[in-house]
Amino acid sequence: MIVFGIDPGSERTGYGCVTSDGRRHRLVQCGAIAAGSASTFAERLQLIFRGLTERLQECRPDCVAIESVFAASNARSALKLGHARGVAMLAATECGLPVFEYAPAEVKRSAVGYGRAEKAQVQQMVTLLLGLDSVPRPHDAADALAVAICHLHQQGGLSTLPPVDTSVRRPRTTPVASSWRRYRPAAR
């Protein structure tokens, strides 16, 4: 299954495409679509639409997962975010793809195990879950990858794992992701 995750934003919209065979998730591509500060809001929305449409046509996913609007204290910011989400959903439906929405806390809980995880924790767990060498940047791309991973987990993307045989000791070939509770941000 190939899932295209979107973290909508009017300044910068993150995207991330993940493929899964039911056992392991792999990165297809990720990044962010950003417009210059000189662009009008309408131009930014057009850039988001075009950029997402191009990437959806490149990746050819099975579906799109998008982060839903959270309760914002600033009404103007919430409205702009709603416009960006609408444009992202339009790009997906124009490409004939089903769209699934997930609350931010649900995304964090699925990727990190804690619904109030910090951005650095999400980035670190996405890096571990996808077996990446470095943290996806910008953080919007990591958030979009977390949305895609959330959809895979919600749809049973890891449910086909065979039962673990604990009677046989196998050498570890890859590091095992630890709990978010053990996460410590790198010193700056």
Residues forming the active site: 7, 67, 140
Scanning the chain, the segments in alpha helix (DSSP H) are 41-59, 75-94, 104-111, 119-130, 139-154
10 Å CB burial of residue 112 (0-12, 13-18, 19+) is: buried
The answer to whether the beta carbons of residues 147 and 18 sit under 8 Å apart is: no
What is the number of other CB atoms lying within 10 angstroms of the CB of residue 44? 24
The answer to whether the beta carbons of residues 158 and 120 sit under 8 Å apart is: no
Q: How far, in Å, are 42, 58, 111, 126, 184 from residue 117 at the CA level?
A: 33, 31, 9, 12, 12
Residues in the chain: 188
